[in-house]
Structure 1
Amino acid sequence: MKNKTPSRLKLTYIFSYILIFMIPFLVISLIFYYNSVKSLREETELSHTHNLGIVKNTVDNHIKELGKIGALISYDYKLSQYMVSINEFRPEAISELNKYKGNNSIIDELYLHYYEQNDIFSADGYMSMDTFLTYKTDLQESNQHAFLTTLNEVNYPQLTLQTKAFGNHPVFMYPLLPGPAKSHGVVFMKLSETFFADMINTILGSYQGAVYIFDQNDDVIATYSNNADNLLDISVIKDSFTNVSNISELKVNKVNYSIMKVHSDNTNWTYVTALPTIQFFNKVYQFKNFMLLIVVFMLLIASFSAIYLALRQYYPIEKMLAIVKERDKTFQFTSKNELDSLRISIETMYEKHDNLQTQFANQQPLIRDQYLTMLLQGQNKAAEKLSDSLHLNLQLVENYSFVFVTSLSKERLSHIDTEELEAATSELLANATIYSVELINDKLMTYIINSQSKDTSEQQVFLNLFIRLLHNIEPTAWIGVGEFYSGNEQIHRSFIEASAAYEHGKSYEEQGISYFRDIKAPQETLWLPKDLLLTLTQSYKQGNAEIANESIKSLTAWLRDNHRSIHLAKHMQYDIMNTIIKIVNEIGVNVNLEKIYYLQNITSLEQLEDNLLTFTNEICTVISSKKENQKKQLQVDILKHIKDHFIDHDFSLENMAQSFNLSASYLSRYIKEETHMTFSQYVWELRLEEVKRQLTETDLPIKNIVFNVGYIDAPNFSRKFKNSVGLTPGQYRSLCVKDLKRI
């Protein structure tokens, strides 16, 4: 089996798609990694800042609550200096202090001291200052004096750890009568040892770092770190206070720290968190295996996708190459790039496309005739669909339209060019569009006039000019004219009226123009209206059930409104039924006439109308189908006639048109649509094939063969034969004889 070398263009496609993907993928991966770190850092910083804010708010609220307790105590008369100095009231004072202590869970003990007294009061009782210092505090004797000094100099509420009176317990001190005036006592509260720890221990979460709380003097109140290496020098932290932003970056010992701070306006305390920034990258790096797996997976998916897309993009080229190789056996690669090799084939394709466009343009007239015929038959939806699908350039856009019909004799019709006649007619009427169509079933030339107005005087002038033009071609001609209607939907109605007017003029041998409006003019009411009977006749002939039903309804309405004797009305009903029977017989439609005869016994006009409408719908469907079949059969007969008579010496387009009672222009258009050749080209091809057959299968002289296929001038035929085949008839016969001997 022969190994197939991969196409260079295909490989180029594959590598190009992979490269196109890889570059953006790597850039996006780096951007994604950087944004992940940045986003994680921002979220972490915002989260820690938020947690610091929660701690700040909690401390502020606790200090506010403790301040309220101090204020209540300072104004409580039961705890006044006078009341506690009297032994009888001291138990009540101690009970009152116990209540205040119980109101707040963070207070471990509450003490009241007046400077002028040596006693200290608490929820557990009262004692002397010496006893308090010795047994209730953790102070050494050397530090007791400093503590007393601090108590005596308290001028405003404050929370501090500096006293160390109770070890690591924070102390809140509230001066009695706080303010610029000298206080006369102090309330100090021993708070829970975990007061700060409970709040700041959870701030860091899973991150390594440190938390600091500074008071209004920028002294450290509390610190917490989950790694001793992360505790920074206090002076370094204080340097960051000058930064206005709540989030800043600080570099210490070549380590970058993210500093987050929150300041309390109530206490002037500052809350700070310091986190090494390297851990943000480490957090993302912890997912490296997972991310690596995702990247590898995406690379594989992308690679397969790139290959798939490349092959899919290359597939049309490969398919085109396969088609070209299959259709064009002479196709060869002109370069290593298949696209260059396809250039010639594409150029050839465009040439063929232009040829098809030319053929379509040649078929346009016949398609236009089909469209106009549909309008005349009332098939408006089908006509609109045909026009939209084939983009016909027909402009029936004016407000009003009317139809007139005429006919020509076989001799005149076979020589006339209907397109030239239509062009000449268009010059007779300004501000209007004129279209003509040859109805081969009815042997009529039909014209549709689309104008801006329905001026009957202008219509009459135009028709008089037209009949003069027509008399130059056909001295004896009848013209039937329908009425004006608005919109394309009513063109078929005007056509029925024009056909009725034409039949009326022809039946009375009134050459010239017959207007349907003249037939409709007021007339004696002794018998059925002539215009309704004519409209009924023509609508039946055209298989138009819509207008036929309207005519029947109008006739029965006339019978109903114009009262006649029973016998006269019965005869009129017979006239309607006889008209229908006559039309059916003329058209040659096989129907059960017993349905009509049965109607003779019906006395009710309503019942008669219903039965006639039912019969009309049935018969019009049959007539319409018959007319379509006749048209198709006529078209089949045309091609068969050509194949049967192309060898006749007098065979011509004009003679054939006369045989079928058609115009030469219509016949020429139809042959071109069916065979994609002109009449002359088609006849030549048939004669050429017949000559080839006789040259191969008979021993007749070439002159006789040429004469047998309809040619008299043998030398002229031989030249045309050589131009088509590349050989003379004699050379062709010799070549075929040699081939037969070899076989």
Structure 2
Amino acid sequence: MFRMNRYLTKLLLFSLCLSTVPVLLLGAIFYNRATESIQSKVNEGNVHILMLTRLRVEQVLQTVDRSLERFAESSSVVESLDTYITPSKFQLFNELTQSMYRMQTFDVGVQDVHLINLQKGWIINNSGFYTFDEIDYKERFNQYLNIADSKFWTSEQSGLTKENRNAQTRIVSLVKKIPANSDKPTALIIAEIPGRELSSLISKNNPLGEVIIFDRAHHILAIQNENFSGQNSEIESLYKNLAATNSPSGELTARLNGDPVGIVRQQSAYNSWTYLSIIPLEDIYKESRQTGWIVVSSCLLLLVVGVLISLLVSRKLYKPIQKLQASFPPPGERQHGQDGPAAADDRTNEFELINRSISHLQTLHRQMSQQLSGQVKQLQELFVLKLIQGELRHAEMNEKLPILMSAPPYRIDWIVVLALQIDTLEGSRFKERDRDLLLFAINNMINDIIPYKQRLLPITIHKYQITIVHTNRHSIHEFREFTVAMVDKIKLEIGRYLSIPISIGISRPYEDIKDAPQAYDESLKALRNRPLAGQNTILYYDQQQAGKIELGQFPEETEKALIQAVKYADHEQIDLLLERFLEEIARYCATYSEYQVSLVRFFVDLTRLIQDSGAAFHSVFENDKPSFEELLELKSKADIREWLKHKMIRPLLPLFEERRKTKFQNISREVIRMVQEEYDTDLTLEICASRLNYHSSYISRVLKNELGVNFSEYLSQHRLNVAKELLEDGSMKISEIAEKLRYHNPQNFIRYFRKMVGVTPGKYRETYANGAVNRGG
């Protein structure tokens, strides 16, 4: 039988709170928002209607304004200003009255137009011609003249010549002075519009409020509802109070006859009239109260439904807990074999019993998981190893996939294999014996770096660390970005914690797990190209395949220059050209196999160089003979460069150094002979090089090495010595000596001689002659 207890009571109370509190809050919020929305909509409607009314009235007033301007500028008005109207001026009078009648159209509502000649003292309007003696409005004229504006709108209780039939409205007048902007106008033109015409421009079908128009003097000019006009004094008093507060145009509230009203106010920029819309707030509150009753009724209904649902749901939710409690034995029976007071207490606290029972099950589960985890990891390593070696059938792969993958979903859309290798341990804090331990550490680091849902278990094979990265995303672009991010993070973490250079080979992405052996092979092939890229690099197999070029491109020119530098034993050029040669074959070769072919070709060319020199191979290298097998075993570009430099090229240099010295001596001796025999000709370095079949720069370098001076310096020194001998002989003039030594100007010879010897040629000859006489005496 169902029994009320502690948990059910709490559940019921919680359900009631959960169902009632939101309903009450939502009801209150909805009521407030609905009330605000109604008032906002009413105000927005009033603002819109008020703006339309203002624009409609201003359009009519501006039409009257433009008509009055045209009338004032007409020739008949200009002519009448200096004329006293007499019967003989009937035609002029007729033109004036016709122009006035044309201004009084139905759409603008003009009642009468007055042309007032202040100098001549007459008035013309619809009623005819008047003199100032016949009317009593001189005081009104003076008021108009005292207003500073040349044109303005005003309102009066009555017209100049016609009485106002409706005492509740005023006559609106547009007054224009002629001439404009004059301190002493000579005439006035006044257009009169009854206030009822303005009232007709206000929409009568506005249910939102009463629209009222005020002039600048706070007089009511027009009102929407005639029944509302009985409150004119109260409205004018309310408007004066608003005007006294200098409140700007907008929405505000006030009280009219003790009742709250909402007021929307706009002021015209055209003539400073004010437009008011007044709506009793009681109308808005009535709508709000109706909405409030609907909200209250809805909330009560929802509360009743919520209480019923809470009772039903609480009972429904408690039944599984009751059954779960009944499925566990009472604590007293489990511990003492009998039902005692402790058992009775536990029955009133359902979750304590359930918690102890579940904790016991979890302890058993952990013990079993610890026993199985080691076996599962070994199984995963075995399956991954068989997978990349191609020892699993396709059906077996799908069967073992839940074991290979650490978490569902057990589906793979893309895979890629990463093969990691330690480049070198030289210069690090580790020894070669630590390599296997480092691979194990790297394997554990990768196990933590790559999310377990996107990789199979990382393993180590021989000297490589292998990881199969996978994804169930359909976009290969996203998978490539993820792979690149993981590889960069692996390099960063290994560099940070182990400080050793590593290289990572990455296979192409494959869509099926059965292609794992092919991907594994591609990752190892990518690593084989590590010598091309150097240490601590990431090698993509697909980029290597895309970068392949046709075989046969070999840097022959650079190789020729390098072999020539070896022949000349030019150490500086050898280092420079060897570095360039290795960079060029690395650029031309897409794979390491092509790179090795180019290295073997260079090895053969160097061997042929030894053969062409006539030297024996064993005499050059003695007991340390290089072989191309040894060359092909090298794994980095730096190792290859050092091997070629020290094992292959350096042993050749003494052979060519000795030959170079003998050759340099022969060349120097031949150039010296040419200079001594042909010093009195236009002998140049290029002529000597052409005769010896060498380039002039090479001859210059040989002379610099052998003699310590260049060709020009040696030729000049020899000619200087000849000049001394000829001066000492005394048989030739100085000018003849200069000509013989190929100086076209004797002065150049004299200057050069004095610069080199310290005295002029003449002084040198004189000194030598004096010394010979003294020796003879």
- Bin of the TM-score, shorter chain as denominator length: 0.3 to 0.5
* TM-score, normalisation: structure 2: 0.44
Greater relative contact order (Cα < 8 A, sep 6+): 1
